[in-house]
A and B are shown apart, each in its own frame.
Chain A
Amino acid sequence: MSRKQESIAMLLAGGQGSRLGILTKNIAKPAVPYGGKYRIIDFPLSNCVNSGIYTVGVLTQYQPLELNDYIGNGQAWDLDRANGGVHILSPYQQIEGTEWYKGTANAIYQNINFIDRYDPEYVLILSGDHIYKMDYSKMISYHKEKNADCTIAMLEVPWEEAPRFGLMLVNDDGSISEFEEKPESPRSNKASMGVYVFSWKKLRQYLSDDEADPDSSNDFGHDVIPKMHENGERLFAYAFDGYWKDVGTIDSLWEANLDLLNPKVDLDLTDPGWKIYSKNPVTCPHYAADGAKIQNSMVAEGCEIAGEIDFSVLFANVKVEKGAVVRDSIIMPNSVIRSGAVVQYAIVAEDVEIESGATVGRRPESMQNIDEWGVSVVGAGVRIGKDTVVPPKAMIDTDIGEA
């Protein structure tokens, strides 16, 4: 039986996402909820399916339980396939011993056998950290057209933000002349999105060489791609100009959610031609009670709302009682906001209970020293007691009692 696939995708989903703090205490970053019903990993997985790539290896390492359970057999993304489909790839024991994935390149190296089964011409390397809609098939066509060995998706970022990114200097023909990793004074604003297409034969060789190099940190950005560059391989940049957001920090996660409420932001999840798939909760439509006030918000099914909601994203089965106020916040599934509680500028994780009269977060305008302001975070399963105050920037991961 021929399993051959022209292109397959490898999705790096092992990251801890330590900057998300308590939100990734028990789950890997790609499993972090986003946008009322999604998880971050829904975006690359849906992009793959919509781009016609039906073989995806998902490399997991950190807290994989929830992610494995979520992906299941891939049916939610139409990735339950007789040939290909989604495969969870965890580090495994080998005859020479057992190793964790040491770096992004090593993770792929350890799964060379998996990739070889499909004998692909091209391998797409993705990460489970970003919110964006992208047609990978166009990028692969570009890669072919340029006869490239490696193509890197790039996005022009505002100059003032450029120092946070890995940047590329690009020639007129699209080839990459130089890399700069988070430079203080950037010479380019073309940032790498962490999406790569490699010609597999070439990459396979470089991965083996990289593995043999004891000085390598086994990372694509650090080791493999610079090495390819050094050796004069054909490296090209593929320009992308849609919405793309790294949701690696609390602030960016909060912002990326609220971007969905901004009609000016170029991220349309309603497009029937490019759906973002997810595992849908089994619950009835949401109910807005008499006296509920809901504006500028996204509300998922199963919610029961009797209070006031403004500029917020509510996930499935959230309850907001009468007299409770939720503003500029993200409330993840099954959380309950009791009457009289106020939640503002906050991320409330799953299964949280915020008792009546409690206050979570503060408006930045009300701060005397704006530097002390930040989004407040309440971790999964936490109970915030009656009349308790959760200050801005706080991260709460244990119950706090009555004040």
Chain B
Amino acid sequence: MRANNVLGLVFPNTYDSCLKDMTSVRAMASVPFGGRYRIIDFLLSAMANCGMSKIGIITKSNYQSLMDHIGSGRSWDLARKKGGVFILPPFNSTNTGIYNGKIEAISGVLNFLDHNNEEYVLMADGNTVASPDFSAMFAYHEQKGADITIACAHGRTPETDGANVFDFDEDGRITSIIRGGVSSSADYSLGFILMRKSLLELLIREAVSQSMRSFTEDILRRNLSHLKIYGYRLGGFIRVLDSIGSYFEANMALLDSENRRELFSSQPVYTKVKDDVPAIYGLDSDVSNSLIADGCVIEGKVINSVLFRGVHIGKGAVVRNCILMQNTFVSDRDELNCVIADKSVIIKPKKTLSGDKNFPLYIGKETVI
């Protein structure tokens, strides 16, 4: 299967509710991650790297920051004369409007699907951080002669309500889908679903005509016996972000060099370029086990933390186990522990703020403390 024969379809708002605070100002897919990225960067990079060249993003709400981030798609080499990135905002015709669930979302963009000639569609949610090799998944789909292939990971199931857990036969064909199963060791869906575009159109039209709502139950599970639905296990670094706790853990996991290697070395991960100066360390800076992006100015102490672009750490400040997003300003002699500061938070001098590893303290965008 030629990768440029696969149309990408991204749902950036699914699971917004898992990171309620952070998604009050943005879509799930544009939540900042890993010091200089947005979650969608991993997906768009993987799609672009495997050779896909046309990607539709079905937005629902709070998508201004996402549009700003993606722009023309140039950062991912997706500013194309033929293809590229298409933002598909809610389109209010007679029966659509803001969609609920994937079936409605896709039925709202049937025109877009119809107007494009790609033979296949790869659908993806915007809450997974991974560097999947989609071309291997396409090859698997062909080799198995599958109708539908769903990427999955093995391990502890995410706590999103509606995490789908699979059972396979020896060949990899999915025999059952259990919704909301919680297990420490299972194969759960990553929401990357590949099928022929014509099949997707057919399934969606059928579902809409019967007022079906759930993609998983009404389309996937109902068709387990008629359609060959295969699971494709992805390896490497995979995190499904389902809560503020898992968001915290996933960022901190990048302090491990093996995890960084898995996520960043198998393929380049692109993001919007900010043209910041390299990070500057001052006279009494003391930084250990931390990830530091360009544009940071560090004059204090930073331990076990992730600093996004343009973060300032004042003299005598101590930052431990923190995730500080773009342009956070930590003043002199502040002490922070287990804090997640959203963009442009300002913390005045000599403040002490502390959360817990399981319940990190989240400070909303542009808050002044």
Which residues A290-314 have CB closer than 8 A to chain B? 290-301, 304, 309, 313-314
- In the complex, B270 has a CB within 8 A of chain A: yes
**Interface 9-mer from A144-152, A211-219, A280-288, A360-368:** A280-288
Residues of A within 8 A of B275 (CB): 275-278, 280
- Look across to chain A and name the residue whose beta carbon is closest to the beta carbon of B285: A295
Which residues A1-47 have CB closer than 8 A to chain B? 35-37
**Interface 9-mer from B91-99, B133-141, B276-284, B313-321:** B276-284
Cβ distance B264 to chain A, nearest Cβ, rounded Å = 5
Which residues B9-67 have CB closer than 8 A to chain A? 34-36
- In the complex, A75 has a CB within 8 A of chain B: yes
Known: A287-B255, A290-B288. A296 touches B281 (CB 8 A): yes
Which residues B278-333 have CB closer than 8 A to chain A? 278-295, 297, 302, 306-308
- Look across to chain B and name the residue whose beta carbon is closest to the beta carbon of A46: B275
Q: Are B270 and A287 in contact (CB under 8 A)?
A: no
Bound Cα distance A37, B277 (Å):
8
- Look across to chain B and name the residue whose beta carbon is closest to the beta carbon of A287: B291
Most buried by B among A36, A277, A304: A36
Chain A contributes a number of interface residues (CB within 8 A of B) equal to 38
Bound Cα distance A104, B122 (Å):
55
Q: Are A285 and B292 in contact (CB under 8 A)?
A: yes
Q: Are B281 and A285 in contact (CB under 8 A)?
A: no
Residues of B within 8 A of A283 (CB): 264
- In the complex, B260 has a CB within 8 A of chain A: yes
Cβ distance A197 to chain B, nearest Cβ, rounded Å = 27
Residues of A within 8 A of B276 (CB): 270
Q: Are A37 and B260 in contact (CB under 8 A)?
A: no
Q: Are B288 and A289 in contact (CB under 8 A)?
A: yes
- In the complex, A269 has a CB within 8 A of chain B: yes
Known: A270-B295, A284-B36, A299-B292. A292 touches B287 (CB 8 A): yes
Residues of A within 8 A of B279 (CB): 286, 298-300
Cβ distance B296 to chain A, nearest Cβ, rounded Å = 9
Known: A285-B291, A288-B292, A296-B283. A269 touches B36 (CB 8 A): no
Cβ distance A324 to chain B, nearest Cβ, rounded Å = 16
- In the complex, B268 has a CB within 8 A of chain A: yes
- In the complex, B239 has a CB within 8 A of chain A: no
- Look across to chain A and name the residue whose beta carbon is closest to the beta carbon of B291: A285
Bound Cα distance A282, B269 (Å):
7
Q: Interface size bucket, B side?
A: 35 or more
Most buried by B among A286, A288, A297: A288
Cβ distance A79 to chain B, nearest Cβ, rounded Å = 14
Which residues B245-269 have CB closer than 8 A to chain A? 254-255, 257, 260, 263-264, 268-269
Residues of B within 8 A of A292 (CB): 287-288
Cβ distance A379 to chain B, nearest Cβ, rounded Å = 23
Q: Are B291 and A270 in contact (CB under 8 A)?
A: no
- In the complex, B74 has a CB within 8 A of chain A: yes
Bound Cα distance A69, B19 (Å):
42
Q: Are A284 and B34 in contact (CB under 8 A)?
A: yes
Known: A270-B277, A295-B282, A295-B283. A288 touches B269 (CB 8 A): no
Known: A37-B294, A298-B278. A280 touches B287 (CB 8 A): no
Residues of A within 8 A of B302 (CB): 288
B-contact bits for A259-283, CB 8 A (1 contact / 0 none): 0110000000110000111101011
Residues of A within 8 A of B34 (CB): 284-285
Q: Are A282 and B270 in contact (CB under 8 A)?
A: yes
Bound Cα distance A360, B110 (Å):
64
Cβ distance B25 to chain A, nearest Cβ, rounded Å = 21
Q: Are B264 and A288 in contact (CB under 8 A)?
A: no
Bound Cα distance A295, B270 (Å):
29
Bound Cα distance A173, B292 (Å):
51
Which residues A309-352 have CB closer than 8 A to chain B? 309, 313-315
Q: Are A36 and B290 in contact (CB under 8 A)?
A: no
Bound Cα distance A285, B289 (Å):
12
Q: Are A286 and B270 in contact (CB under 8 A)?
A: no
Cβ distance B21 to chain A, nearest Cβ, rounded Å = 23
Q: Are A298 and B270 in contact (CB under 8 A)?
A: no
- Look across to chain B and name the residue whose beta carbon is closest to the beta carbon of A300: B278
Cβ distance B34 to chain A, nearest Cβ, rounded Å = 7
Residues of A within 8 A of B280 (CB): 260-261, 297-298
Known: A75-B74, A292-B288, A296-B283. A284 touches B260 (CB 8 A): yes
Residues of A within 8 A of B254 (CB): 284
Q: Are A285 and B287 in contact (CB under 8 A)?
A: no
Cβ distance B275 to chain A, nearest Cβ, rounded Å = 5
Partner of A286, one of B268, B289, B292: B292
Bound Cα distance A304, B263 (Å):
15
Q: Are A294 and B291 in contact (CB under 8 A)?
A: no
Q: Are A294 and B285 in contact (CB under 8 A)?
A: yes
- Look across to chain B and name the residue whose beta carbon is closest to the beta carbon of A280: B273
Residues of A within 8 A of B288 (CB): 288-292
Most buried by A among B288, B293, B308: B288
Residues of A within 8 A of B278 (CB): 35-37, 298-301, 313-315
Bound Cα distance A37, B308 (Å):
17
Bound Cα distance A338, B206 (Å):
63
Known: A75-B74, A292-B288. A285 touches B257 (CB 8 A): no
Cβ distance B351 to chain A, nearest Cβ, rounded Å = 24
Bound Cα distance A298, B277 (Å):
9
Cβ distance B196 to chain A, nearest Cβ, rounded Å = 33
Q: Are B74 and A36 in contact (CB under 8 A)?
A: no
Bound Cα distance A301, B264 (Å):
13
Known: A269-B277, A294-B285. A288 touches B294 (CB 8 A): no
Bound Cα distance A300, B149 (Å):
40
Bound Cα distance A106, B8 (Å):
53
Q: Are A296 and B257 in contact (CB under 8 A)?
A: no
Residues of B within 8 A of A298 (CB): 277-281
Bound Cα distance A255, B278 (Å):
18
Bound Cα distance A291, B289 (Å):
8
Which residues of A come within 8 Å of B, CB atoms? 35-37, 75, 260-261, 269-270, 275-278, 280, 282-301, 304, 309, 313-315
List, sorted by A's number, 30 A–B pairs whose CB atoms are closer than 8 Å: A35-B277, A36-B277, A37-B277, A37-B278, A269-B277, A282-B269, A282-B270, A283-B264, A284-B254, A284-B260, A284-B264, A284-B269, A285-B291, A285-B292, A285-B294, A285-B307, A286-B292, A287-B255, A287-B292, A288-B288, A288-B289, A289-B288, A292-B287, A294-B285, A294-B287, A296-B281, A298-B278, A298-B280, A301-B293, A314-B278
Interface contacts beyond A75-B74, A296-B283: sample of 4 additional A-B pairs, CB < 8 Å, sorted by A? A270-B295, A294-B281, A295-B284, A304-B257
Closest 8 CB pairs of A and B: A36-B278, A285-B35, A300-B278, A285-B293, A288-B287, A269-B277, A282-B268, A280-B273
